[in-house]
Amino acid sequence: MSQCCVRAFVTGKVQGVWYRRATQEQALLRGITGYAKNLPDGRVEVLMCGQSAMVSELAQWLWQGPEGAQATHVTLETLADHHAPDHFSTY
């Protein structure tokens, strides 16, 4: 099972709609660690570390998000040699 860390930047209506909390719930279901945090420009940054297949699933879910959210763009960046955190946090 290959492990990876991917950073995503999500653009759209993703702040003030429980996006970070819902992302955390989805990550925990898939055994993914990392974080979701609001950025000053209105985007949400998500770090996802775990099994490649599970990270891929969560990356797809970011387009959907929770009810009320509307992601218009998701940018993914694979991080080489990134230290995976022990848990999933929201900021």
pLDDT digits (tens, 9 = 90+) for 6-39: 999 999 999 999 999 999 999 999 999 999 999 9
15-84 CATH choice from 3.20.20.80, 3.30.70.100, 3.30.2090.10, 3.90.1200.10: 3.30.70.100
Q: Is 30 part of the annotated catalytic residue set?
A: no
Instruction: Check 21, 30, 38, 43 and give the catalytic one.
Output: 38
pLDDT digits (tens, 9 = 90+) for 29-82: 999 999 999 999 999 999 999 999 999 999 999 999 999 999 999 999 999 888
Model confidence, pTM: 0.95
Per domain, the residue ranges of the chain are 15-84
Among candidate residues 5, 3, 14, the one with its CA nearest the CA of residue 61: 14
Q: Is 20 part of the annotated catalytic residue set?
A: yes
Residue 83: predicted pLDDT? 85
Cβ atoms of 84 and 5 within 8 Å: the answer is: yes
